Structure 1
Amino acid sequence: MHLVQILLPTTDASTSPFPPELFASVRDELTRKFGGITFHRSAPAEGLWLSDDGVEKDAIVTAEVMVDAIEREWWAHFRADLERRFDQDEIVIRALPITRI
């Protein structure tokens, strides 16, 4: 079993917040596909990374789903769609092996 985490920015490049409907569409799509989701959005995390322009940062929220197997092709298409919807160069999606207890 795997825990898939999707790191989503809370604002666009001009620091305007994304509309709640955008997150709701992600929540609803993942709930339909996987039967459930955990969305950590009450306290956005701060993401930092180095770029050619110095240190950049984002406020991010995390969506998580548990899956038995990783469907890499589906996730690649989903990530590309999220990058388009959120107008991002990259949306990070990561999977961690877990044991359900």
Structure 2
Amino acid sequence: MYLVEIFLPQRDNEGREFRSELFSQVREELLERFGGMTAFTRVPVEGLWNTHQAGRSHDAIVIYEIMLQQLDRPWWESYKAELERRFAQEEMVIRVSRVDVI
């Protein structure tokens, strides 16, 4: 089984919050395609990283996750590119892990 985690930024590059409709659209797309998903939206989640140009950067994020029996990598690569376009990001993180469910 696979666990797919989608890390969505809560704010754009100028610090403005994204419209809730963007997140609703992603939720609906995932529900329609996979039949279920989990959203981590209430706990403040913060991503931190160092950059050569700007020093330390951070993002407030929302995490959506889906558990799958099979991984359609080309579909996920295409969906990632679409999310990067919608959220105006140079790169977004979609993490895939193999998991055992008990």
TM over 0.5: yes
Identical counterparts, % of pairs: 46
Secondary structure of the structure 1 residue equivalent to 2:57 = strand
Alignment-mate amino acid for residue 58 of structure 2: K
SS of the residue 1:60 aligns to: strand
TM-score by length of 2: 0.95
Q: Provide Cα deviations, 1:43-84, integer angstroms capped at 9, x if missing partner.
A: 231101111220100001100001111111000000000000
The CA distance in 2 between the partners of 1:69 and 1:90, in whole Å, is 24
What is the match of residue 21 of structure 1? 21
1:90 corresponds in structure 2 to 91
The alignment partner of 1:87 has SS state of coil
State the secondary structure of the residue aligned to 1:12: coil
- Uncovered stretches (5+) of structure 1, i.e. residues with no partner: none
SS across alignment from 1:18: coil
Instruction: Give the secondary-structure state (helix, strand or coil) at the position aligned to 1:11.
Output: coil
Rounded Cα–Cα distance in structure 1 between residues aligned with 2:18 and 2:35: 25
Q: Which runs of 5+ in 2 are unaligned?
A: none
Structure 1 residue runs of 4+, over 6 Å off? none
TM-score after normalising by structure 1: 0.96
Distance 1:96 1:74 in 2: 16
- RMSD value over aligned CA atoms? 0.8
Q: What's the counterpart of residue 81 of structure 1?
A: 82
Aligned match of 1:63: 64
Task: Report how many residues are paired.
Answer: 101
- Secondary structure at the aligned position of 1:76 is classed as helix
